[in-house]
Amino acid sequence: MKIVRIPIGYNISLILLLVLSTLFAQVSFAAQEKTTAEKKQPPADLKITSDKMVADKNQSMVEFMGNVKAVRADSVLLANSIKVFFHTSKTKKEDQSNVKRILATGNVEYTEGERKAFSDQADYDTTDEILVLTGEKARLLTGKSWISGKKITLFKAQDRVVVESTEKNRVEAFFDAEDQDGSL
Q: Residue-wise pLDDT tens for the chain (184 aa)?
A: 444 444 444 444 433 333 334 334 343 334 444 444 445 456 678 899 999 999 988 888 999 999 999 998 888 999 999 999 988 766 666 666 788 899 999 999 999 888 899 999 999 998 889 999 999 889 999 888 999 999 999 998 898 999 999 888 899 999 988 876 555 5
The Cα–Cα gap between 176 and 168 comes to 25
The Cα–Cα gap between 106 and 143 comes to 24
Q: Which phi and psi (to 5°) does residue 18 adopt? A: -65, -45
The Cα–Cα gap between 74 and 107 comes to 20
The Cα–Cα gap between 121 and 131 comes to 10
* Displacement of CA 90 from its chain's centroid (Å): 27
With b for 16 or more beta-carbon neighbours within 10 A and e for fewer, the 53-73 pattern comes to eeeeeeebbbbbbeebebbbe
* Displacement of CA 163 from its chain's centroid (Å): 14
